[in-house]
Amino acid sequence: MQYEIKGTPFPVVICRLEPNETVCCQRGGMAWMSPNMQMSTNAGGGIGKMFSRALSGESIFQNKYTAVGGIGEIAFSSSVPGNILPMEISPAKTIVAQKSAYLASSPSVELSIFFQKKLGAGFFGGEGFIMQKLSGQGIAFLEIDGSVVEYDLGANESILVDTGYLAAMDATCSIEIETVKGVGNALFGGEGFFNTRVKGPGHIWLQTMPIASLAGAVRPYVATGN
């Protein structure tokens, strides 16, 4: 599969498929396509995987598009202002991403749920108790809120992340929750009561404008009509 990512701040990934090649996507992700792209909708692996996708924030059913009778083209658009991030998934590289990050992928990429090992990381970390895990083999495209900043963390390295700013990480990374020190800092600092500590080893992708933060920034103007 060949692809090209265009546009900002609402990007689109345009995929060029060889004859009989297939690409999968979330419901409503397709923006436009050539007439020879044939669509099929199914549960994508049975009841277990169907509910696994539902718990990870995606549709129960999965759309598949196949190029029939020649080379085909299909485009998938982002639903939020930000970036589309291509990920090369392999048995040696499994990715854990924020809920609803998945946009499209090769059919050999498996989307499943990822439970935080510690309840505190799920309830207070902002990334949610359930995240998405992408495994298998192939290319996957993720939606990132705002711009992307990347870090490589060593085995003894970590970074503190505010609620919602962790977009994705290698599955070799881990998450812990830490309370903000000092009652005054927690109550009046404006940063909340908890931070997420992401520990290496592994690569992490941070996003500069979580959709919840964007909604909070525009809410006063929507409410007042200004």
Domain boundaries, the chain: 2-217
CB contact burial 198-221 (16+ within 10 A = b; e otherwise): bbbebbbbbbebbbebeeeeeeee
The edge-to-edge listing of strands for the beta sheet with 166-170 is: 109-115, 130-136, 95-97, 166-170, 202-207, 148-153
pLDDT tens track for 30-86 = 999 999 999 998 765 555 555 555 555 556 678 999 999 999 999 999 988 999 999
CA angle in degrees (0–180, nearest 5) for 106-31-33: 70
Whether 134 shows a pLDDT value over 60: the answer reads yes
pTM: 0.82
Long-range CB contact pairs, 120-123, < 8 A, 24+: 120/176, 120/177, 121/175, 121/176, 121/177, 121/196
C-alpha separations of 122 from 43, 105, 117, 130 in Å: 27, 26, 8, 7
In the chain, the percentage of residues whose pLDDT exceeds 90 is 56
pLDDT tens track for 186-213 = 444 445 567 889 999 999 999 998 877 6
Higher pLDDT, 106 or 121: 106
CATH topology classification for 2-217: Double-stranded beta-helix (3.60.160)
Higher pLDDT, 47 or 133: 133
